[in-house]
A and B are shown apart, each in its own frame.
Chain A
Amino acid sequence: MAELLLELLSEEIPARMQARAADDLKRLVGDGLKAAGLEFKDASAFATPRRLTLVVDGLPTARADVSEERRGPRVGAPDQAVQGFLKATGLASLDQAEKRDTGKGEFWFAVIRKKGGPTAEALPGIIDAAMKALPWPKSMRWGSGTMTWVRPLQSIVALFDGKVLAGEIAPGGQMAPIKFGDTTRGHRFLSNGPIKVAGFADYTAKLRAAHVMLDPAERKQVVFEGAERLCTEAQVALKADEGLLDEVAGLVEWPVPMLGTIDAQFMGVPPEVLIVSMKTHQRYFVTTDRSGALANRFVVVANNVARDGGKTIVDGNERVLRSRLSDAKFFWDQDRKQRLAERLPALKDIVFHAKLGTQAERVQRITQLASQIATSVPGADISQVEQAALLCKADLVTGMVGEFPELQGIMGRYYALEEKISAAVADAIGDHYAPAGPNDRCPSAPVSIAVALADKLDALVSFWSIGEKPTGSRDPYALRRAALGVIRIIVENNIRLPLKKFFSADDLMAFFADRLKVQMREKGVRHDVVDAVFALGGEDDLVRLLARVEAVQSFLGTEAGKNLLTAYGRAANIVRAEEKKDKTLASRIAGAPDAALLQQIEEKNVAAALAEVERLVTPALQREDFAAAMQAFAGLRGPIDAFFEKVTVNVAEKPDLRLNRLKLLNQIRATMDSVADFSRIEG
């Protein structure tokens, strides 16, 4: 058993691509090995900013010749089948195949002989194929070459059983081939010259000595633990950030966390501004103090062990942050000199969309919508809603948002608070883009709800009006997210808002319905129940719709519910079967059965039970007490069961009796369908 070690050294690989590339390399080489009949025990892949490394354990050093038989199509089968067979087996023509009688007819058979031999001879081809197939999200050419890789490829270590594999990768053009070898390089700044390796254990040990931690998991751990230690010493708390941790681990081969300090003059700038500068632009970890507020320390992870212990690096990073933050502070100070309301005219210069006018026009629409919506939001003060809506986009023309677009809304809130606008209005300005995704916080304050809904409904209605509807793959204006936002705000806050008040397009309502279905499916609601409620049509109050869905689903979970569903199915089946035979039947069995024609006690009982159900259900539906409505249905079960046991519906000799009984069954169906279309429920 032997080990394969492969290292592809290149110029710096983007952090976001490393993990995926390591997995792909492992998969592609693994598949290649298996296809060549080379079984192995284990494979692991690693990535650093400069290398992809794969180690495969437990490979045989040689393969025996193997021959494999494959049955093809029947002799005389159509050409298409024959061609498929030839292609799959790699035969040139049927001359190379054998005819054999299997007892079930004559078939073509291919005997594929795979030559064995030393594994080392098969590996270069497998490596080459895997490299060609590796799907980098973006790749490039370099020099005079034609080969593509994520960044220029520099060297390849390819060792099998401790020996260099005979092989090379040709970048093309005038460039020298990159020969498989046994030497690599260590850290770009902390190591010098080539490093000769004998196998994976030797490789990792020598890399470590050359200041390269191969395993990203280890680098993450070193970053995290080092950062925690620094924070503990400084009596601050590290703000955990898994995404940033992954990214930082992909930017360094030898992580050295260091603690920096934010200049005191910037601590008065809103924390979100500091966080964007530190986290997004500088990849620093932020820290908090005991109260959970942003602390004045940050953690930067260097890729170097500096000879002055990192003093220069920390100084430099503090300096960069200072200059970034003084830019931000400059905007913070400048922006506060102008009131948000004074900025509104400038929104006339910002085009929202060529066909939908400027941001000023959009604000006008949002304001109008918001005040309409506010009447449906308990506790929403109309004048506050109007003020918030009017100002919600004003921060787009501030210097800060110009520089940090991701702070839109957030800055508007701060500027509003600075000019002593009420907190409810300021919060609504800050909240009105929310929720930005399924995990984002959903606005819950009344004024915020009204403005956030108006913002999204305006986008949906406006883009719909110019025919910019999302398609399967394209949703450039994020209208799906807007619709999901509307749904979440309405549902989570129990807002009774008939959506049809704001638009008439049926396909927009259907769009909402689809989003709602997706959302409910994710929450584990049965899709057939959702369909059954949606099938009623005409419902544009999402809260009521969901209450109905919930009641139906929980009723169906009870014994009574299941039995009643069976009874409903029987009644519906009989009616449907009869309707099929007689096209005029449907119109004749509409309406209540004739009491005079009810003969058997079981019939009368069903009619009585239906009357009782209706007496209970109608007001329950009016009060939207769907649970009570479903409970009322439970009383139907006994009479209906008895009916099916004792009563014959299709009494051919008495057509009026038959018709009346069908009416009775139809009424069962109609009564139940007033809550949901039970025919859509899957038993």
Chain B
Amino acid sequence: MSEPSARPKPTCFQELILTLQDYWARQGCLILQPFDMEMGAGTFHTATTLRALGPKPWYAAYVQPSRRPTDGRYGDNPMRLQHYYQFQAILKPSPPDILERYLGSLAAIGIDTSLHDVRFVEDDWESPTLGAWGLGWEVWCDGSEISQFTYFQQVGGIDVDLVSGEITYGLERLAMYLFDKKSIFELPFNRADSEVPLSYGDVFLQNEREQSAYNFEFADTDMLFRHFADAEKECGRLIEKRLPLPAYEQCIKASHCFNLLDARRVISVTERQSYILRVRDLAKACCEAWLATQKEAA
């Protein structure tokens, strides 16, 4: 392990991100940028889903904007967003001291374990759309969930070669905890002493209102069904061409279309399962194709 973060304790949302990036960079992680497509969670980033497969070691960390259309509340609920940020670190293969490293990241963001009660509470993770599962915990600090920790066992229905340790911080929730705010929208986005100090609400409240209206009321469902079908078809075609990366983007697109359709409540409970399975089939095919390229390269 290299030296811990030299950064001071974060005081605002963006410093929280900077501190985590700095910390995980010092742990040997690549600092990647967000994937430039709509996705439900940081796990969908190719840096996790695809890189978790295959025999090559991989340490990476990144912020991923995550969209969950059904979680939108028009900005009315102080704790719910349809667009939020996850910070994700993936260490493959998981090193023996990964938990100590994780606890080091808490120290870096200002959680002093001589004052707080940090607990690892069983929480197994499963993503039906990615055909992925793993075992791990929710990490609690004084009763508040501050991270998810997962050891990936399967991705795309395939047993992993090397087990990745995946750490996900829900940044808004963590920031609310660190900065003692009752509402996400009150979080300081940058420092209070900045030239232009802004809150999370200043940056995102209007977005929550408009996107919630879009997600729940105005998204053109016929178009979304079409887009889903197109993406599904395109994905299959690209798999045949042995182009797993562009194929996987189509899978991500299909998944997001499904999430929007779900928010518009036009998919019945039974149909829902079949849509999830269709996305899973795409994810599986992409993962298999990706794995083939990895094994060829190795």
Contact = CB atoms under 8 A, between A and B. Distances in A.
Interface string A157-176: 00000000000000001110
Interface stretch (B42-50, B118-126, B241-249, B276-284): B118-126
A152 B160 CA distance: 16
B163 A306 contact: no
B135 interface: yes
Contacts of B118: 188-189, 304
Given A49-B120, A143-B94, A351-B270, A316 B142 contact: yes
B65 interface: no
Nearest to B124: A138
B144 interface: yes
B96 interface: yes
Nearest to A349: B265
B113 interface: yes
B116 A313 contact: yes
A306 B115 CA distance: 5
B119 A143 contact: no
A319 B144 contact: yes
A312 B270 contact: no
The interface centre, meaning the residue of B119, B134, B177, B182 with most chain A CB atoms within 10 A of its CB, is: B119
A143 B122 contact: no
A142 B94 contact: yes
Contact of B117 (A14, A49, A302): A302
Interface residues of B, number: 40
Contacts of B163: 140-145
A312 B116 contact: yes
A194 to B, nearest CB: 14
Given A140-B151, A152-B94, A326-B182, A303 B270 contact: no
Contacts of B99: 11
The interface centre, meaning the residue of B122, B151, B162, B265 with most chain A CB atoms within 10 A of its CB, is: B122
B162 A144 contact: yes
B95 interface: yes
Given A173-B93, A300-B143, A319 B120 contact: no
A558 interface: no
A12 B151 CA distance: 13
A354 interface: yes
A47 to B, nearest CB: 14
Nearest to B123: A14
B173 to A, nearest CB: 9
B79 A323 contact: yes
A540 B53 CA distance: 60
Interface residues of A, number: 51
Contact of A327 (B79, B113, B142, B160): B79
A16 B122 contact: yes
A327 B96 CA distance: 39
Interface string A124-141: 000000000000001111
Contact of A14 (B115, B116, B122, B177): B122
Residues of B contacting A: mostly: loop
B268 A354 contact: yes
B223 to A, nearest CB: 21
Contacts of B153: 140-141
Contacts of B95: 143
Contact of B115 (A145, A312, A320): A312
B28 interface: no
Contacts of A350: 269
Interface string B46-81: 000000000000000000000000000000011100
Contacts of B119: 251-252, 303
A173 B62 CA distance: 28
Interface in A494-549: none
Given A143-B162, A304-B116, A316 B143 contact: yes
Contacts of A251: 119, 121
B77 A327 contact: yes
B2 interface: no
The interface centre, meaning the residue of B176, B180, B269 with most chain A CB atoms within 10 A of its CB, is: B269
Contacts of B134: 140
B85 interface: no
B113 A354 contact: no
Contacts of A461: none
Nearest to A311: B115
Given A151-B135, A321-B143, A308 B115 contact: yes
A644 interface: no
Interface in A9-23: 11-12, 14-16
Nearest to A358: B268
Interface string B159-173: 010110100000000
Contacts of B96: 143, 152, 154, 175
A174 B163 CA distance: 12
A307 interface: yes
Contacts of A303: 117, 119
A588 B58 CA distance: 91
Contact of A304 (B113, B135, B143, B165): B113
Contacts of B77: 327, 330
A330 B113 CA distance: 33
Contacts of B165: 142
A524 B35 CA distance: 65
Contacts of A141: 151, 153, 160, 163
A554 interface: no
A306 B141 CA distance: 13
Interface string A290-307: 000000000010111011
B290 interface: no
A319 B180 contact: yes
Given A12-B120, A316-B142, A326-B78, A140 B113 contact: no
B143 A317 contact: yes
A251 B139 CA distance: 12
Contacts of B117: 302-304, 306, 313, 316
The interface centre, meaning the residue of A15, A143, A308, A350 with most chain B CB atoms within 10 A of its CB, is: A143
A439 to B, nearest CB: 26
Interface in A305-342: 306-308, 312-313, 315-317, 319-323, 326-327, 330
29 contacts: A11-B99, A12-B120, A12-B137, A15-B122, A138-B135, A140-B153, A141-B151, A141-B163, A142-B151, A142-B165, A143-B95, A144-B162, A152-B96, A175-B96, A188-B118, A252-B119, A282-B143, A304-B113, A306-B115, A307-B115, A308-B115, A313-B115, A316-B116, A316-B142, A317-B143, A319-B142, A326-B182, A351-B268, A354-B269
Interface of B: 77-79, 93-96, 99, 113-122, 124, 134-135, 137, 141-144, 151, 153, 160, 162-163, 165, 176-177, 180, 182, 265, 268-270
Interface of A: 11-12, 14-16, 49, 138-145, 150-152, 154, 173-175, 188-189, 251-252, 282, 284, 300, 302-304, 306-308, 312-313, 315-317, 319-323, 326-327, 330, 349-351, 354
